[in-house]
Amino acid sequence: MALAREHAPPAGGARPLLAVEALTKTYPGGARALDGVSFTVARPEVIAVIGTSGAGKSTLIRCINRLVEPTSGRVFLGETDIVSLAPGELRRARRRIGMIFQEFNLVDRLTVMENLLSGRLGSVGFFASWLRRYPPRDVANAFAMLERVGLAGLHDSRADALSGGQRQRVGIGRALMQNPDLLLVDEPTASLDPKTARQIMRLIGALAQERATPALVNIHDVALAQGFADRVIGLKAGALVFDGPSAALTPEVLTSIYGAEDWSRTIRKADEDEAGA
Amino acid sequence: MSTGAAQRHPEVWRRHSPRETVVRWLWIAAVAFVSAWSVSALDIEWIFFKDAHVQAADLAGRMWPPRWSYAPTIIAPLIETIHIATLGTAIAVIFSIPLAFLSARNTTANGFTWAVGRGILVASRSVNTVIWGLLFVAIFGPGPIAGIAAVAARSVGFLAKLVAEAIEEADRGPIEAIESTGASTGQVYLIGILPQVMPVLIGTTVYRWDINVRESSVLGFVGAGGIGLHLYASINQFAWQQVLVVLLAILAVVIASEAVSAWIRGRIS
Amino acid sequence: MSAAHPSAWRPPPFFGTRGRQNLVLLAAIAYLVWSVSTLDIDAKRALAGFGRAADLFIRMIPPDFGRWELLLRGMTESLQMAFAATLAGVVLSIPLGIAAAKNLAPRPVYLAARGLIVVGRTFHEVIIAIFFVKLFGFGPVAGLLTLALSSTIFLAKMLAEDIENVRVGPIEAVRATGAGFLQVVVYSVVPQVLTRSVGTAIYRLDANVRHSTVVGIVGAGGIGQTLSASFSRYDYDFAAAILLGIIALVALGEWFSDWVRRRLR
Ligand SMILES: Nc1ncnc2c1ncn2[C@@H]1O[C@H](COP(=O)(O)OP(=O)(O)O)[C@@H](O)[C@H]1O
Ligand SMILES: [Mg+2]
């Protein structure tokens, strides 16, 4: 794998960075979107969550920061069991989890800078956020972040004036402004053209590595998943059917996740793309 | 078209199904009945109407020519009328924002707070500005303060209702994004929702201000300040030439405020 | 990493430049000072008002529904005024609306009708009401005429706009069959504007219910007259009952109007 890289060894004996235990979600109306999913993340790595549309990928990552309330199961972020937290504690835990969305979810009428700094809302009070009085360090970090995601100089542009790729870069910056212990990324490239999609995936991968932050990335594009992830989790009808290094994604595995299909071309294409990139 | 097809078509064509027709006629009958009841119950003395045009012409004749010497007297009350509208609208804006968040389903705390918010909305909107004026004159005594309070009381519900609707229709995505940064509820409203409803807030405020200028022109009838007092006094003194001057002044101010309001709204959209 | 980057940032000014932003702020403050100083506000009396508000509130509770017959009579009268005025408004707005439609009426007629609409819309119902009271005496007839006049003007304006927005295709098609003016109106304009016009009329009925509560202030009948009388007698617990009645009536009117207009669509 072109992007395979050295990892810090798992800290011996300590809690894993993230542990998901028997997570289940039944939506009102009966759809069981998540069915006893368990896995652990012991080191900072990029994990692709793959599966057909409706397999429960979004539900999984939204249960982790409780944008969706899980029906049962537990989620440990370090020592903290997120599922059992009261609202105030949940807010504090969410500050440690950055989230990146398919539709970018920027506040359109605010500037790029305001969107980036909204990642720091947890550290300022109501009136400070009203007057946009963020600590000087946060402001300096935001300017640095702007440069890092390739948008230097655009701080005063309104978010709705940017292109799709630029908007997603702001979304990434906002999540990273939180200095998160975990990144949750829901289909980050599904609203982008293929070329921009690869750039965005590369940026997310690079930033996760730089900051040694584990990232859980929902993605339906198998080639992209293989290209950019260290590890792959496969969901099918809410159940975890595969968990292994991305190199272990064989046609048999893909068939178990997606159903019968000719996978050779998909897999080979991914390899060629990486060789060319 | 083949002849065979033509024969299969019905010979009688009706616009509505029989059920629709019945419902339609029931509605028409209801409207006719209610109208007949209303007109007959009001005991209208039709004889009065016979010389109405004569009387109206007579009144118009007595108004002409306008007594322009009265104009300087009403400049200050005219300005006061605009102040009442502007200050009342400004106060309403301040109160309407929290009220809107209280009465929008997705931001209110619980069913009880929602009901409280909706109750305030309904009360504010159902009572006319002039009737609010009556109430506030009883509280603050005659004068522009009562007028400002009346305008604010009526406008707060108007603004909050439209802003609450905008809050309910706000895009969920950015709200979720701000929630997931661990922001407090107040910050989610402030950063995630308020910018989304800002155009509605500004647009309705300007629109309401223009309505309020018109409303303020009659607040003086109940003693709540503004030009209305002078209109009322002139009418009661049968000073019809003064009345015409006041009417022309109101016409000018209301049309001008409508133009200003339309211009601003045109610029923000 | 932060050393090279600015550590201060202000959002871009809402009004273009920061200078203009400050100017607008300054103007707003100046306006506030000016307006508050020209309004002859008696601070002491205003402050006393808050005490008086509590007093008034106490005297309003509990609302006195003992004279419910009087209350009911006033509300019925308001409703009747609203219904009759809406009916009159619908009938009278048709000729005025056609006259005010640019694409149907000859230019002088159009200008005259538009002028009438502009002037009529400017004056508050209460101003119109006081003139009708002078002409026809106190009572619901003055209120009815007021609401009828303002409904006519409102409905005519809406109708004229609807007519101006009709698609010209059908008009030309009907005209091409050799139809006369009335036939053109009936066969090509009416179908296009009818549903909307019914919706507008229902909306106006709702507005008339609202306005019918206020024209009584100058003696033009309805519940407003009852309310005004109770206020002038310092009869506050009855006034509270009337206010609650008005709120219920208006809320019901709005609900009905919304319900009908939703079904029309
Ligand atoms: N808010 C919801 N209410 C009810 N059912 C839902 C809701 N969100 C998702 N679902 C259902 O849960 C299942 C998993 O959805 P999702 O997690 O969005 O899948 P994915 O992201 O893999 O496409 C689907 O069957 C979907 O219809
Ligand atoms: Mg999804």
Residue C3: what pLDDT?
54
Q: Flag if B44 and C45 touch (Cβ within 8 Å).
A: no
Average pLDDT over residues A230-251: 91
For residue B254, the distance in angstroms to the closest alpha carbon of chain C comes to: 6
Q: Which residues contact B69 (CB under 8 A, 6 or more apart)?
A: none
Distance CA C145, CA C143 (A): 5
Tokens standing for C118? 């502009």
Residue B65: what pLDDT?
87
Which residue out of A27, A67, A187 has the highest number of ligand 1 atoms within 8 Å of its CB and is therefore the one to mutate? A27
For chain C, percent helix, then strand, then coil, each to nearest 5?
Answer: 80, 0, 20
Mean pLDDT is lowest, of A110-114, A244-248, B33-37, for B33-37
Q: Which residues contact B80 (CB under 8 A, 6 or more apart)?
A: B144, B225, B226, B227, C38, C39
Are A25 and A113 members of one domain? no
Instruction: Specify the CATH number for the domain of residue A44.
Output: 3.40.50.300
Contact list in A for residue B181 (CB cut-off 8 A) is 94-95, 98-99, 118-122, 174, 178
Contact list in B for residue A108 (CB cut-off 8 A) is 174, 195-196
pLDDT band at A7; cut points 50, 70, 90: very low
Tell me, what DSSP letter sits at residue B193? I
Give the residue with greater pLDDT, C43 vs C101: C101
Are A72 and A185 members of one domain? yes
Residue A31: what pLDDT?
80
Residue A165 lies inside a defined structural domain of this protein:
yes
Q: Flag if C2 and A141 touch (Cβ within 8 Å).
A: yes
Model confidence at A137: pLDDT above 50: yes
- Residue of C85, C91, C97 lying closest to C208 (CA atoms): C85
Domain boundary among A127, A160, A179: A179
For chain B, percent helix, then strand, then coil, each to nearest 5?
Answer: 80, 0, 20
Are A34 and A160 members of one domain? no
Averaged confidence pLDDT in chain C: 86
Contact list in C for residue A142 (CB cut-off 8 A) is 9
Answer yes or no: is the C-beta of A227 below 6 A from any ligand 1 atom. no
Distance CA C45, CA C57 (A): 18
Are A72 and A184 members of one domain? yes
Element (H, E) at A49: strand A46-50
Averaged confidence pLDDT in chain A: 88
**Which residue reads 């004279």 in tokens?**
C67
> What percentage of chain C carries pLDDT values higher than 70?
98
Best residue in B175, B178, B179, B180 for a mutation probing chain A (most A CBs within 10 Å): B180
Give the residue with greater pLDDT, B1 vs B90: B90
- Residue of C120, C85, C134, C129 lying closest to C221 (CA atoms): C129
- Residue of C84, C113, C98 lying closest to C159 (CA atoms): C98
Model confidence at C241: pLDDT above 60: yes
Model confidence at A5: pLDDT above 50: no
Mean pLDDT is lowest, of A3-7, B254-258, C69-73, for A3-7
Mean pLDDT is lowest, of A33-47, A128-142, B198-212, C70-84, for C70-84
Are A44 and A77 members of one domain? yes
Average pLDDT over residues B101-110: 94
Model confidence at A146: pLDDT above 90: yes
Helix (H, G, I), strand (E, B) or coil at A27: coil
Are A110 and A89 members of one domain? no
**pLDDT, tens digit (0-9, with 9 covering 90-100), for A153-181:** 999 999 999 999 999 999 999 999 999 99
Tokens standing for C229? 């009388």
Average pLDDT over residues C178-189: 77
pLDDT band at C4; cut points 50, 70, 90: confident
Are A81 and A6 members of one domain? yes
Give the residue with greater pLDDT, C8 vs C182: C8
Distance CA A78, CA A17 (A): 5
ipTM above 0.90, yes or no: no
> What percentage of chain A carries pLDDT values higher than 90?
71
pLDDT band at C112; cut points 50, 70, 90: very high
| Superfamily covering domain C66-264 | MetI-like (1.10.3720.10)
pLDDT band at B10; cut points 50, 70, 90: low
Give the β-pairing of A72-77 and A80-81.
antiparallel
Mean pLDDT is lowest, of A148-152, C51-55, C67-71, for C51-55
**pLDDT, tens digit (0-9, with 9 covering 90-100), for B123-160:** 999 999 999 999 999 888 888 999 999 999 999 999 99
Model confidence at C201: pLDDT above 80: yes
Packing angle, helices C140-164 and C68-99, rounded to 10: 40
Model confidence at A134: pLDDT above 70: yes
Are A57 and A42 members of one domain? yes
Are A134 and A262 members of one domain? no
Residue A200 lies inside a defined structural domain of this protein:
no
Contact list in B for residue A101 (CB cut-off 8 A) is 173, 176-177
Are A239 and A249 members of one domain? yes
Model confidence at B199: pLDDT above 50: yes
Q: Which stretches of B104-143 are DSSP H helices? A: 111-126, 129-140
**pLDDT, tens digit (0-9, with 9 covering 90-100), for B162-187:** 999 999 999 999 999 999 999 999 99
Distance CA A245, CA A226 (A): 9
Residue B83: exposed, middle, or buried by beta-carbon count in 10 A (0-12, 13-18, 19+)?
buried
Which residue out of A49, A59, A186, A219 has the highest number of ligand 1 atoms within 8 Å of its CB and is therefore the one to mutate? A59
Residue B11: what pLDDT?
67
Domain span holding position A35: 1-96+180-189+209-277
Domain boundary among A160, A179, A198: A179
Q: Flag if A126 and B174 touch (Cβ within 8 Å).
A: no
Model confidence at A277: pLDDT above 50: no
- Residue of B180, B184, B227, B222 lying closest to B84 (CA atoms): B227
pLDDT band at A8; cut points 50, 70, 90: very low
Residue C231: what pLDDT?
85
Model confidence at A275: pLDDT above 60: no
For residue A57, the distance in angstroms to the closest alpha carbon of chain C comes to: 36
Give me ligand 1 centre to Cα A72, in Å.
Answer: 16
Q: Which residues contact A242 (CB under 8 A, 6 or more apart)?
A: A232, A233, A234, A249, A253, A256, A257
Q: Chains near A, with 3+ CB pairs < 8 A?
A: B, C
Residue A201 lies inside a defined structural domain of this protein:
no
Contact (Cβ atoms closer than 8 angstroms) between residue C78 and residue C213 = yes
Residue B213: what pLDDT?
95
Q: How many domains does chain A have?
A: 2
Contact (Cβ atoms closer than 8 angstroms) between residue B44 and residue C144 = yes
Are A56 and A80 members of one domain? yes
Give the β-pairing of A215-218 and A182-186.
parallel
Are A78 and A184 members of one domain? yes
Residue A269: what pLDDT?
54
Name the β-bridge partners of A232: A48, A244
Residue B1: what pLDDT?
42
Average pLDDT over residues C167-192: 77
Residue A202 lies inside a defined structural domain of this protein:
no
- Closest residue (by CA) to atom 25 of ligand 1? A54
Mean pLDDT is lowest, of A238-252, A263-277, C231-245, for A263-277
Average pLDDT over residues A207-227: 90
